[in-house]
Structures are given as structure tokens and as C-alpha cells.
Structure 1
Amino acid sequence: MSLVKRAWQCRARAWVAASLLFVSVASATDTGSRGATVQDAINMVRIQYAVTPDDKVAAISDDGTQAAFVTWRGDLARNTNVYELRTVDLRPPLKQQSSRVVLTRLFPGDQLDQVASPIQQLRYLKGNKVLTYLGRDAAGVAQAYRLDLATGEETQLTKHPTAVRTFTVDADGKLLGFSAIASADDGTAKRLEEDGVFLWEPGVFSFGQTFFSASPALIRLKQVDAVRQFFLTANGRDQLIFDSRQSRPKAPLDMKDPKVARAPSQSLAEDAVLGHFSVMPAAPNGRQMLLYPYLVAEQPLHPERYAYYMSSHMNEFGRRIAARVGVIDVATGKIEPLLDAPSPQFERYESGPPLWSPDGKSVVVYTLFPDRPADAPAWVEVDLATRRIVPLGLAKDARPVSWAADGRTLVLSINGDSFSQIRRTGDGKWSRPTQPGRANGFNADWSVAANGKVVLGVSDALRTPPDLTAYDPATKRSIRLTDLNPQLAEIRFGETTAYHWRSKPTDPADGFLVKPIDYQPGKRYPLVVLLDDNTLRFGNAPFLFDGVWQLSSHATQMLAAQGFMVLYKREASMRDVIETPAEAERVREDMERVVAQLDREGLIDPARVGVSGWSRAGYYTSYLVIHSSIKFAAAINTDGGASEYTNGMRAFTDKELSQIRTPVMFQSHGLWSLVYHGAMADRMNQLDRPAEILYFETASHTTTRPQHRLRSLGSSIDWWRFWLKGEEDPDPAKAAQYSHWRELRAVQERQLERSSSR
């Protein structure tokens, strides 16, 4: 996983689930009649992580009586996913209910966008009567839509030739403006299609690589999508007012030059990142809109004026993406900075998108200060007419998430798990925050939504599937609103408990141990260790059915049903060693300690241990089979890890690969991954080290397509059974698979014989 993606996924550390007052919840228990299957995982109804423009789990109607959220499940028969836009009633008393499905869309996924959905950016209009959303047209291109909840009538608001990314409507649902991906008109796309290019060519690729692979070409293709154009819409015509390429210097950046690296200018890569924070909200009166990110290359920020932003605690990447918030005059299309200061958006807890005041006269924004260059960024209110700045006086990790109905009170989220309020006083200043209230039991993978009267989030437990839950700050009661997966009560789940050890004598480490469903004390079981890729947050105890975030290869409960002990291992803290040789060594030491502890406790057979990792944890998997003292019986590397990450992404040497004694299955998602994995697998085969590749040509990094998941999870289970238990599925359709694996076993046996004879 890239460092940027890891930063995005460094979300709020969750609090321990406790004291939720649930109403007759159907949860998965030991009373079921059978073990879990891959089909169960595919059919499970899941809650979409983010559905609003500011990435909340639900949209709350203007009058507070209703909320909308999105679920999805796999449909194997059609090899697609079924997305459903649902609404729930928030009128008191809150209660569990059957959510109303108001829109259904089929969507198989997007290879280049692993979080793509056909229903995003939900907004309520006219109380609870109308919803707008970002959907997909018949050609699969993202467009803006309006849905009348009473009649079910759907209206397409945009018909842009390229994908719409954000959009804004007025109170009546009339389109005011939108941003969209720009057409590739710079000539480089044509060269890629019709001519030959060198991968080091700076005119084609904005930054070079120190190793040879197809990855620069893939990066280029993704970056074309990152170019955004912003339009105003009036009288049926779209007026282009800003193109994100205006933010880039015309000449390619020389990142080896320290002055260039420190300069707050954007390159193509930074533009791709900033696109994920793009917003274009309109004032309530529709006369002005905000534009973020707004940065023009000809009007650079001056490092000496923004001492805090240029201080040593900011890395070079952060310094290059100092963007401002722009203010658009809807009548003229003119853009000017809200403040001559950047609005950094990379602090998970305290930063966030700007909020218009209900009267449209001011903006609440997270920003640095033009007149105090060394001060830390803070939330302030900016008067549009005078540009007067009034700090909100918020403590660290607190940020406003919405206005209350009175138009003078801001609802605050504190550290992601507590909520408070501040009120504008008669002199225009802000009161101290009220005593925060804590909503226990929410899973922080889903960002909560709040309006001052209710907090909506997702609650689950190790063997209880996720459901939408409401928390009432006044009564401090939490009510589970939905029961999305009653069918899971039929399944016997393996006993799942928190498991602790010490990664080194002074540091505790943990994960979750899943025992076989017919566990017998005193019996030693084959162990599969599933490496987390920094997605399992500290303090979180999520529903462990398959994987956390990524849904291929990690067949957690399905392995328990097949008689395996499973350790879902939380990643150790890497802050002090990331991108250094000590990073993988910490993983190795941690792994060897926990396996030794499980062995001492008599829970596992140390001769039958497997390890699996996805993305960056795929690198850990490769490192372990090369360097660990554990003689792993098998390994699976899913879409990552076929090179030495901490040494310029160099290929592993023959000397390193010669140390492998473990059969490795590579699961490759897309052509780049195949080239990447194939290089390592080819060398392993040349060295008589057994390697297998399972290739998914159209899979995204974390794939969601049902047939992909069926094959990935099913093949993973087969792999573990073959190498750790000596078992084969008698299904005739798998005869060729097992024939090849028996050949790999013969290769391994020959290699082991040669090693023992030396």
C-alpha cells in the first residue's frame, strides 16, 4: 500500500464497543447449524463507508426526521454487486426498523477506483422529500442525479462527457455547478496509444522510478483522471471557471533539488491527492460557492510567510500541497482566495471541509493565519464581506461537522468518538464547548453523521455484523436501527477472542484468535496468520467474517469452518521505522514471538503454519518467507510485496530468493501486478522454489466483484488445505489445479533433498 493511501486510512482510533442498548438484535452466535462459506461472505449485506460529500456514513434530512445510507451485497448469478439506497425514520422514539429501499443499482466495481460506488455524495433537499446523489449513467460515467422520494422520479442533472466528481445544487435542486475529470488533451495519452515511450521520459511521466516495471504507466493512466475542471451552470450552459492544471508549473519539477522539494507548488502527483479533498459547496442563497483546492501557479504561496506550514514537522510532500479555499462569484465566475493562507486537510481528527453559515454571510474553515505565520492551523469563522477572522477556540482533535437547526450552534466531533457544541454569542464570538458526550460502541471505520440531536454510526462486534445505529446525546442511549443480515444467525462461527503477546519485552501486541468451530482443547491445529495492512485499528473489535477493508484472500471464518486456527494479526506500530530496514525486521520479530507463544500454549502445530498479506503486508509476507526462522508451510501474497520496499523498491536478489523454502501463491490484480509478481515468481521457479500465480485481469486493488471474490477466497482455502492439511477438494473442476500443485510439491521436495544432502 502506498504511503499516501496509508495516510488516508489512518483514521480515528476506535473506542472499545460497550454499553449499547440494542433492540432485539439478530446476531451471529454458536446456535447456527453450519460453518461459514465463501457464498455467505459474498451474499452478506455491507454498509458503504462514505455516502456524503464529507465522507459520512449517512445523510440526515434537513428536518432531522430521516436519514439515508447505502448498502451493497454480491450477486454471484449476475457477477455484479447490488447497491441499495435506503432510508430510516429518525422520529422519536428511535427503534429498530426495516429500512426502506428507495433506489437499486447494479455495479460490478471499477478497476482503477477501489472505493467506487454508483451511489455517492447524498444530500437531502426540501426537508426529507428530495435526495441528490452522484450516480452512473448508462455508459458507466459518473453524473449528478436528483431523486424525488415520494414519487421515485429520478432526474439526471448533468450530461457531461467525462466523469463528474463533485456537484452543487440550490435549495430547490437546481444544478449550480460541478467539477469533472478533464479530457486527456495534452498529447501524452496519444503518445501512449500510438507511439513508443521510455519509462523515464519526464514529458510523459511526472516523476521517475528507480526500478523497472509497468508501474509508471499505470500511475500515468490514473493521473489523467486526477485532472479536474470546475464549471458553473446557468441557462443550460456549462461555463469552465477553473482547471486544476492551472495549479501546476509548466516545467516538470526536479524533486532532487531541495529548494524545489520544499516549495509549496503542485505537481501531477500532488494534484491526484488533492482531488480527493475537492469540494464545491454553495452558499444558502446560491450567490457564492467555495472552491477547494484553489491554487494558481502564477500566484504561489510564499514559504517565509507561512512558517508553520514550512516547519520541519511537515514532510516535503505536505509542503508541496499548500492549497487555499477560493470563493466563486456565481454571477461572474470570478474566483478569489477566501484567505491568503493554506487550508491543510491532512489531520484526520481536526481538519475537514469548510462549512457555510446558514445565512450565507460567513464560512467556517480550517486554516492557517495570514498575519501570524508561525501559528498552528485552527478552525475559524470568516466574514465574507470584511474577511474578519474569529477563531472558534477549539482544542486539538475537535472539528465542526454541522450546524444545528437554530443557525447559531455548531456541532463538534472530538477525536471521532465524542460530540459537543459551541454557540455564537451576541458579540460575534464563540462560547466554550459544552461538556462532550461519548457515543460508545461505534466502529470508527465508518465516519459518523450528526446534526445536534442524533449521531449516526455503525456498530458491530467480533461475531455481530455491522448495522446502522443511532445515539441520542440527550438520553445517552444507543439504538441499533437495522438488522441487515438475519441470515447469518444460521452460521456457526469460530470462537473469536482478543489475543495478546509482546512484540518485544516492553511493547504489548495484539490481534484476534479465531478457533475452529469444533475446537477441542489440547489438540494442536494448523495455523493461518492473516497480516493486517494497518486497517485494523487499535481498540477496534470489528466483525471478523472475511477481511477488514479488503475482501479477497482473507477467508477468516471460512477457515475456522475448515478446521484451522486463524490469527488476524494487528500491525505493530511502525511510526519510528517506516520505510527503513527496521520496518520488516519488526514484523519478523513480532511474528516469531506470537507463533512461539501459540506453540507454548499447545494451540498450534508449528510445522503447519501459513502466512498471508495484502498490499504492503504482501511485502511483509515476502520478507518473512525469506528471513524468518519460522518454516512456513505455505504463504499467499495478495497484490503487493514482490520487491524490497525499504531499499528503493529493488527486486529481491537470487541470494534472498534462495532462502525461501515456502510455496507462495501470488494473487495479482491487474496487468501491473502480474508483471510485478511474475518477475519474482519466475526467479523462484528458476531456483526451484514453488510459486503459483492467480491472476485477476480486471480486479481493483481491493476487489469487490463477486466472481473475483469467489475465486480468490475459494482458491486461498484450497491452498491452505493442500499445504497445511494435505487435503484436496474432490471437485472434478479443480483437477488441473491440484495436478499443478502436486508438481509444485515435487519441486519443493527435490529442493529440500538437495539442501539436506549438503
Structure 2
Amino acid sequence: MHLARYGAAIALAWLALPCAHAVKRRFTVRDDIAMVRFTHPRASPEDPGTAIAEPSPDGKSIVIVVTQGRLSDDLIESRLLIFQVSAIRNAAMHPQLSMPKPKVLATVQGMPPPFAVHAHDGVIKDVRWAADSSTIYFLTANRQGNYRLCAVRREGGRVDHLTPSTMSVDRFTLSGDRITLLASGQRPASSAAGQALNADARDITGTRLIEDLFPDSRYNRAIRVFRLYTIRLDANKPSIHSVPNYALEQIPFLARAYPFAASSQAGELIKLEPAKSVPKSWSRYAPATGYPQLRLRQGSTTGQFQAANIMRPLEYTAINLANGKQTPLLPAPNARSLGYLRDANRAVWSSDAKRILLTNTFLPVDRYSDTTSGDVYPCGVASMDMPDDRVRCLFFENRSLNPKVFHVQDVAFEKSAAKVAVLLHNGLNQQIVQHYTLRQSHWLLISTDLVQSPVTSLREWQRQDSDGGLRWRMFIHQSLNDPPQLWVRAPNGSSQKVWDPNPQFRQMRFGHASSYSWRDPHGHQWSGILIEPVGFIRGKRYPLVLQMYDYVDHQFITDGLYPTAFAARELASAGFVVLQFRKQRDTGSERDPQIALEGYQSAVAQLNAAGMIDPGRVGVVGFSLTCWYAAYALVHDPTLFHAATIADGLDNSYMQFMMFTPGEYFLRRQMLGVRGVAPFGVGLAHWVKTSAAFHFDRIQAPVRIEAIGPSSVLQEWDLYASLRLLKKPVDLIYFPHGTHIHKHPLARLESQQGNVDWMYFWLKGEELPDQSSVVSYPEWESMRRSYDRLNNSTKPASQ
């Protein structure tokens, strides 16, 4: 095990641009880290590949957020930029004029919180305009990952901090003359797990292993106590007021995924709150296909309701902001708790605060037409009238996993509380808007519109639709091979570039990327992005690296999807063919890794038949869930891969089950769902037969393991120890303060560049010839000598 040797890496963080006549150089990990990326200005973008400008209500200005990594101080920098629409319009109409440069309203260096779930998160987020377009409100993260609520005038000037540095704001909403926000205090001091018996003994029955062994771990300190606050904006000096009688233990990133909607009078707030119990009737609620372990049962263990359970049952709740009183609205669980993850969770008030729209929720069992027996399914969009609590369902949820099926993305009232628009999307990147009207106590579908240009919200679609497409529109133009740039579309449909945040890319060469698809022998359709090496020569066979998880259609591809271990375009710069592809939908069973293996095998076979790759030089990268698939493939087809990286993932092994499931309700149900039986008695024989961890002796490929945080070291230890004891090539890299999706620039440098180095060494048999390497090769040379002796093989041929 070793830590990375960075050497002069920090000093090389910002590379000087070569002169105009210099030979173009290749794209590297450092270029990826320093790349200026458009960050979605709202809190929870529906599509992580979509980034849009946030227009002011009067249409005169737009603000954008851009973000990049800084190797020089290992921080993330975000900037809030503003453009004047009139200046852009004038430049577009008069070619002799240059496009205006953006004005910087705020610059922040900090670090997103450990549990940020989107790749390349910024430290400015949740940008919102005041109704009169005079002020912009937003959240900024400091170096500890705590967020403060800030405000800046449109014309620029001082950035005002509306909340103290001791408070971390998670959500906020503007309603009338009031801001309502959800925030937590400073991280609590670490304390030993369990109950103290005396000065020398503690009872840790029922605690989590990670709490017992690593009380100072940031993961143990992630659960915070959240409270509600309000700020009156019409006061001479805005002050913060606490909502009494409200406190919630929650993991921060979960709170940001849920509705946070204050009424127009700011008297009540709708949130998803943890259920206090599971009534017997809730067992009839049908979990989503593939998630049978999530069915709710009366009398389940208390772990079901703990804050650490990311799937604990939640229900839509109204909170009185004057006294903190909570009132379940239905009551029934939100459908996300039962695995309905493709539908957004939304709560929307009508303008008179007398009707509410709630999405992705079950209704009380007695509200369904058949109340006698059988499963009941969630309502896609429900309306609720206040104060008589009458509930109506616009339409019921579809359990199908067919990518053509549409799921709820957003809802909104239209011209009155009797008219509703629903934005839906499917797995084919199509969007539609359905219009409903309330007639004779029933919601009727009256029309459907096809969305021509992708949108992230109904507000955006309504803004486009309101002027018949005649307004000047700002958008982010990008493709698989074109880096993102800010463009403007004129009312006549013509488009022009406004601003290029990465002019340095004009001096770089990129491997060409294209969509790629194939079928495995069992008929599964697979899709991905195939990236050719820089200088690709048809007919020449190249080493191949497979990266399975997901990808974003039509988005400029750099690392692949996440900056943990994935390094797609960087590998292409080093002479590899790279296939970043989408895993199949999970069945939650032992079939999943076998299906993945067939995907790996068929991809290699098709690329080999096309004459593009050398099947004797193929590598694989597993991240998170796909570590299970990669480890399974290494065991069940030992000659398929010739180098591998396993990064911070579960493999449903016996060791992981015994270490983590006693204190993890959701994980225990998941792993029991996969194996179908606990590893005791006759069940143990089944685990020995099916778990790859009992067969690591079959692995032939050199394996690089990346462990992020102390619990990750434990979950990867059986793979590392097995290969180490068997004297097989294995490298264990530890990121003690890292995040599952790497945020720290130096962590990204080690993870991504280290992976490029690893693949280059084992698949090409060489050391990377330039100075970008972050490793010390003598250790690997020693591994290779042992590897060659063990397998009686020769050094791999270089390309």
C-alpha cells in the first residue's frame, strides 16, 4: 500500500498556452481538472448533462455558474457570471461587434460536501433571482463543505452573507417577502459509539462497525441535525428567525433531493419527512420492479427509520412555519422509498395556496378503488385540496423499466388551479408536456405537446412557449467531440457563439468519440461511447479499456461519467481505445454480474472482429456498483482482462456482509435480496459457491484497488489481502479524506492519472513516456517480475 507521489504536480497545475503555431498537444488529466465547466445554477438539475443559463424575471440579464479544479491549492473554484442580453443581441445583429465578455459577480474557492452526488459539483449553487430582478441569491461552500446563503445586486458590488459561518444551509426558497431555509449547525464533535458502562467499557450492541473503529471519520459525522429558519426581506436589516419545535436528523445530500415548497403567504412548508411507523396496510404498497426488498413491513427493525438508512420511508408533510407543527398530508409513503427512482419528487402550491400538487406518492389504501386485497401502485401526480384534504390522482405510476415509458420530471399549475401541466421524460431523451383540466371532480388529459428543445423544468418550457419561440435564448452548445460553449439563438433560428470558457482546447488533440452499440449472445442491447486513440490508424490494433457505469448522451466526454478512476479521453490520449458504456438495469439478483460479464465479453468480441483492438491487451475499470461486475468477470473469465482497477465499490461478499450489515438496514436487505439467503447453515454453501470473493485465486490480471475513506479499506481488504497472499500483482491506493465521487483536485490527479499509468504499464508493457506520471514504477517492476515467474509468461509486447 502506498500514497501517491505528487512531486511537482502542484506546480504544473496551470499549464501555459502554447503559441498559435505550436504543435497541438494531447489532452491530459491535468487539463481535465483545470477545465472550466458550466455548473447547473439550480440545486437539483434533472439531467446532470444539461447546464443552462438562469434568466432574470425581466429577461434583461442571464447568470451562469462555471467551475474548475485548482491543483495549486487543492480547491474547487466557482464563479458567478452575468451577461446583459441587449449587449449579446447587438453583437449578434452587427457582425463587426465582438461578443461581450461576462462580468464576474462572485468568485468562491471551497470544497463541496463529502456526499455531493453529481460529478464536478461547484461551490456556488442554487442561484435564484428576486422577483424584481434586482438581486441574486445563491449558496456558497467554504473549505469545510458548509454552505452560506449569499446575495449580490445585479449591477455587482459587495456579496452579502445572510447566514453566519457556523450555519450550513442545505435548502432555501423565496416566497413573497420571506426566505425559508433548512440548515444545520457545525458538525458535532466525534464521540465513541454505543453506551458508556464505565470509564473502561462501552456497550456497542447494534452500532455500525465504522462508528466503532473510526469515530472521527467524516462519514460518521455526515448525519446532521437540521432546523428550519425564516428571513424577512422587507426588514431594514434582515434577521434570521428559527421555526420552533422542528429538528430532523438527516444526511445532507438526501435533504437536497426532496421538495421544499413554501406557500405564497409563506405560512406553511411542504417537505418529505420520515414516517414515524409503518402501518399494516402499507405492506400492500408494491415496490418498483427489481426492488422487492423495499416492501414495507409492519414491525420491521428500528434501523428502517434511522437517518443512516437512505431508503427510510418518507411521507409528504405540511409544516407550520409559525409553530413548527407537522401534519402528514395523505398519509402514505413517498414512492421513492419503494424504489421508484425515475420519477421526480415535487410539491407545488397553487397561487391561492388552496391546492397542492404532489408527485411520486402512494395514496392511503382506502383511497384506491380496490381496497380488499392485492398490491397497490403509486400515483404519478396527485392533487390535494386544502383544507378539506380531498385527494385526486391525475394518473397512476407505470412500473415498466422499458426505456420508452415516460416518467414525471416536473409539474406546475397553468392559468388557474384547475389546469395542470406535467413534464415527462423517458430513457430515449424524449420529453412531452401533458395538460390536464379539472372537470366534474376528475382530472382529464386534454392535450399533449412534444418538447422540441430539451428543458430541465416546466418553468423553462413555459418561458419558451409563452413567446412562440421569438425570444433570444442562451444555451450551452456541446457534443461528444465539441467542448461546451455559451451560444445564443436569435428569434429567426440562427445561432452564434457567445463565449468559450476553454480557449486552451484549441491547442489540444482529442481522440474522436462516437456512439457505439452491440448485442450480447442473450439478446441484451448495450450502448456506449467509443473513443478512438489520438492519431487513430484504421487496421491497427490497440489496447482496450472498458469502463462500465453510464454516460450522458451528447455531452462532451472527458473522464467518462465520474472523476473517480474513469479517465476515458486521457486514456485515448495515451493510445488506448476506450469504451464507456451503460450497465443494464439492475435486477437486484445474482444475474446482474453474469449479464455484465456477457456485456464485457461481447464488446471485446465485436471490437476484435472489427480489427480495432488487441484482445490480449484489454483492461477494465469498475467503480461503485460495477466493482461487483468487474470482480466477478476477473474470477469467471480470468483471461478476458489483462489489467483491472476496482474503485470504492461493493461486491456483495461474505466479508462485506458480516462487517457492514449488522448496523445497516438497507444494505442488509439489498445483499440478502441478491443472494436470496443469509450466509449461515445451508445458506453458507450457497455463498461460497456464488460469491466471487471465495474464488479470488482464479484472478490472473494485475489489480489496482482504490479505497476512499476507512470503511472502503475494510470493504476492499479481502480482495487486496487475497491477491497479496497469493503473490499476485495488486496495488492498494488509499484516500483517507476522499469522497466517493472525487472532488479534491489532488485526489482526482492520483485516481485518474494513476489509472492511466496502471493501464499503460500492464497493457503496453511500458512506462508512460511523458512527465504526467504520478507513480513510482520500481514497485510495479517488482510486481511484474513476480507475475512473470508465477505465470511463466513474458513481458507484454509494447505497441
Report the TM-score when normalising by structure 2: 0.73
Question: What residue is the counterpart of 2:268 in the other structure?
Answer: 289
Is 2:74 the partner of 1:75?
A: no
Question: What residue is the counterpart of 1:739 in the other structure?
Answer: 778
Quick check: 420-429 or 485-494, which moved more? 420-429
Question: Residue 170 of structure 2 contacts residue 181 of structure 2 at CA under 8 Å; is this kept in 1?
Answer: no
Question: Residue 27 of structure 2 contacts residue 569 of structure 2 at CA under 8 Å; is this kept in 1?
Answer: yes
1:81-96 equivalences in 2 (<5 Å): 81-88=76-83
> Alignment partner of 1:454: what SS?
helix
Q: Which of 418, 423, 444 is the equivalent residue of 1:413?
A: 423
Question: What residue is the counterpart of 1:149 in the other structure?
Answer: 154
Letter in 2 for 1:673: S
Question: What residue is the counterpart of 1:265 in the other structure?
Answer: none
> Alignment partner of 2:515: what SS?
strand
2:149 and 2:595 map into 1 onto residues whose CA distance is 47
Quickly say closer, same or farther: Cα 1:215–1:435, change in 2 above 3 A: farther
Quickly say closer, same or farther: Cα 1:718–1:220, change in 2 above 3 A: closer
Is 2:396 the partner of 1:381?
A: no
Question: What is the CA-CA distance between 1:554 and the residue it aligns to?
Answer: 2.2
1:628 and 1:139 map into 2 onto residues whose CA distance is 44
Question: What is the CA-CA distance between 1:84 and the residue it aligns to?
Answer: 1.7
Letter in 2 for 1:230: L
CA deviation profile, 1:118-149 (whole Å, cap 9, x unmatched): 32222221332222223235865323223322
Is 2:553 the partner of 1:543?
A: no
1:574 and 1:399 map into 2 onto residues whose CA distance is 20
1:513-524 equivalences in 2 (<5 Å): 513-524=530-541
> Alignment partner of 1:672: what SS?
helix
Is 2:115 the partner of 1:101?
A: no
CA deviation profile, 1:450-500 (whole Å, cap 9, x unmatched): 15023987553211123567889x988888765333332322222222233
1:392 and 1:66 map into 2 onto residues whose CA distance is 37
Letter in 2 for 1:553: A
Question: Residue 544 of structure 2 contacts residue 577 of structure 2 at CA under 8 Å; is this kept in 1?
Answer: yes
Question: What is the CA-CA distance between 1:392 and the residue it aligns to?
Answer: 4.6
Is 2:707 the partner of 1:668?
A: yes
Question: What residue is the counterpart of 1:352 in the other structure?
Answer: 345
2:436 and 2:788 map into 1 onto residues whose CA distance is 73
Quickly say closer, same or farther: Cα 1:317–1:425, change in 2 above 3 A: closer
Identity %: 22
> Alignment partner of 2:30: what SS?
helix
Quickly say closer, same or farther: Cα 1:412–1:74, change in 2 above 3 A: same
Question: What residue is the counterpart of 1:33 in the other structure?
Answer: 24
Q: Which of 493, 504, 519 is the equivalent residue of 1:502?
A: 519
Question: What is the CA-CA distance between 1:746 and the residue it aligns to?
Answer: 1.1
Is 2:508 the partner of 1:491?
A: yes
Letter in 2 for 1:728: E
Is 2:304 the partner of 1:324?
A: no
Quick check: 739-748 or 114-123, which moved more? 114-123
Quickly say closer, same or farther: Cα 1:750–1:171, change in 2 above 3 A: same
1:222-241 equivalences in 2 (<5 Å): 224-225=223-224, 227-231=225-229, 236-241=240-245
State the number of aligned residues.
679
2:699 and 2:46 map into 1 onto residues whose CA distance is 43
Quickly say closer, same or farther: Cα 1:679–1:294, change in 2 above 3 A: closer
Quickly say closer, same or farther: Cα 1:42–1:378, change in 2 above 3 A: closer
Question: What residue is the counterpart of 1:304 in the other structure?
Answer: 281
CA deviation profile, 1:359-391 (whole Å, cap 9, x unmatched): 333322224444513574142433334434455
Question: Residue 544 of structure 2 contacts residue 578 of structure 2 at CA under 8 Å; is this kept in 1?
Answer: yes
Question: Residue 273 of structure 2 contacts residue 317 of structure 2 at CA under 8 Å; is this kept in 1?
Answer: yes
Quick check: 702-711 or 430-439, which moved more? 430-439
Quickly say closer, same or farther: Cα 1:99–1:439, change in 2 above 3 A: farther
Quickly say closer, same or farther: Cα 1:239–1:361, change in 2 above 3 A: same
Question: What is the CA-CA distance between 1:684 and the residue it aligns to?
Answer: 1.0
Letter in 2 for 1:37: T
Q: Which of 449, 453, 477 is the equivalent residue of 1:436?
A: 449
2:770 and 2:23 map into 1 onto residues whose CA distance is 26
Quick check: 355-364 or 328-337, which moved more? 328-337
Question: What is the CA-CA distance between 1:328 and the residue it aligns to?
Answer: 3.1
Quickly say closer, same or farther: Cα 1:313–1:146, change in 2 above 3 A: same
Quick check: 159-168 or 558-567, which moved more? 159-168
Question: What residue is the counterpart of 2:548 in the other structure?
Answer: 532
1:105 and 1:512 map into 2 onto residues whose CA distance is 34
Is 2:697 the partner of 1:692?
A: no
2:506 and 2:766 map into 1 onto residues whose CA distance is 29
1:405 and 1:436 map into 2 onto residues whose CA distance is 17
Is 2:120 the partner of 1:118?
A: no
Question: What residue is the counterpart of 1:450 in the other structure?
Answer: 460
Question: What residue is the counterpart of 1:250 in the other structure?
Answer: none
Question: What residue is the counterpart of 1:260 in the other structure?
Answer: none
Q: Which of 609, 614, 625 is the equivalent residue of 2:618?
A: 609
Question: Residue 67 of structure 2 contacts residue 122 of structure 2 at CA under 8 Å; is this kept in 1?
Answer: no
CA deviation profile, 1:401-451 (whole Å, cap 9, x unmatched): 4456888865531216424363767989767454413235x5x9x778615
Question: What is the CA-CA distance between 1:589 and the residue it aligns to?
Answer: 2.1
Question: What residue is the counterpart of 1:632 in the other structure?
Answer: 641
2:542 and 2:60 map into 1 onto residues whose CA distance is 52
> Alignment partner of 1:242: what SS?
coil
Quickly say closer, same or farther: Cα 1:328–1:415, change in 2 above 3 A: same
CA deviation profile, 1:551-596 (whole Å, cap 9, x unmatched): 133222222222222222332x2444x331x221222222122212
Question: What residue is the counterpart of 2:7 in the other structure?
Answer: none
CA deviation profile, 1:142-197 (whole Å, cap 9, x unmatched): 2322332224333323337453322344434x4445343697599765869x9889
Quickly say closer, same or farther: Cα 1:330–1:569, change in 2 above 3 A: closer
CA deviation profile, 1:478-524 (whole Å, cap 9, x unmatched): 88765333332322222222233221253332322222222222222
Question: What residue is the counterpart of 1:42 in the other structure?
Answer: 33
1:655 and 1:429 map into 2 onto residues whose CA distance is 58
1:510 and 1:54 map into 2 onto residues whose CA distance is 24
Question: Residue 269 of structure 2 contacts residue 320 of structure 2 at CA under 8 Å; is this kept in 1?
Answer: no
Q: Which has the higher contact order (CA 8 A, sep 6+)?
A: 1
Question: What is the CA-CA distance between 1:536 and the residue it aligns to?
Answer: 2.2
Is 2:723 the partner of 1:677?
A: no
1:230 and 1:313 map into 2 onto residues whose CA distance is 36
Quickly say closer, same or farther: Cα 1:536–1:385, change in 2 above 3 A: same
Quickly say closer, same or farther: Cα 1:273–1:310, change in 2 above 3 A: farther
Question: What residue is the counterpart of 2:564 in the other structure?
Answer: 552
Question: What is the CA-CA distance between 1:354 and the residue it aligns to?
Answer: 0.7
Q: Which of 140, 161, 169 is the equivalent residue of 1:135?
A: 140
Q: Which of 191, 205, 229 is the equivalent residue of 1:201?
A: 205
Question: Residue 619 of structure 2 contacts residue 763 of structure 2 at CA under 8 Å; is this kept in 1?
Answer: yes
Is 2:711 the partner of 1:709?
A: no
> Over the residues paired in the alignment, what is the CA RMSD in angstroms?
4.4
1:448 and 1:478 map into 2 onto residues whose CA distance is 23
Letter in 1 for 2:500: D
Long gaps (5+) in structure 1:
1-30, 246-267
Question: Residue 118 of structure 1 contacts residue 135 of structure 1 at CA under 8 Å; is this kept in 2?
Answer: yes
> Alignment partner of 2:264: what SS?
coil
Quickly say closer, same or farther: Cα 1:155–1:430, change in 2 above 3 A: farther
> Alignment partner of 1:553: what SS?
coil
Question: Residue 294 of structure 1 contacts residue 324 of structure 1 at CA under 8 Å; is this kept in 2?
Answer: yes
2:169 and 2:199 map into 1 onto residues whose CA distance is 30
Letter in 1 for 2:110: F
1:589 and 1:171 map into 2 onto residues whose CA distance is 56
Question: What residue is the counterpart of 1:167 in the other structure?
Answer: 172
Letter in 2 for 1:107: G
Question: What is the CA-CA distance between 1:80 and the residue it aligns to?
Answer: 1.4
CA deviation profile, 1:519-560 (whole Å, cap 9, x unmatched): 22222212222x222x326xx243222221x11332222222
Quickly say closer, same or farther: Cα 1:60–1:430, change in 2 above 3 A: farther
2:136 and 2:254 map into 1 onto residues whose CA distance is 27
Quickly say closer, same or farther: Cα 1:324–1:120, change in 2 above 3 A: same
Q: Which of 356, 360, 384 is the equivalent residue of 1:363?
A: 356
Question: What is the CA-CA distance between 1:700 and the residue it aligns to?
Answer: 0.6
Question: Residue 401 of structure 1 contacts residue 450 of structure 1 at CA under 8 Å; is this kept in 2?
Answer: no
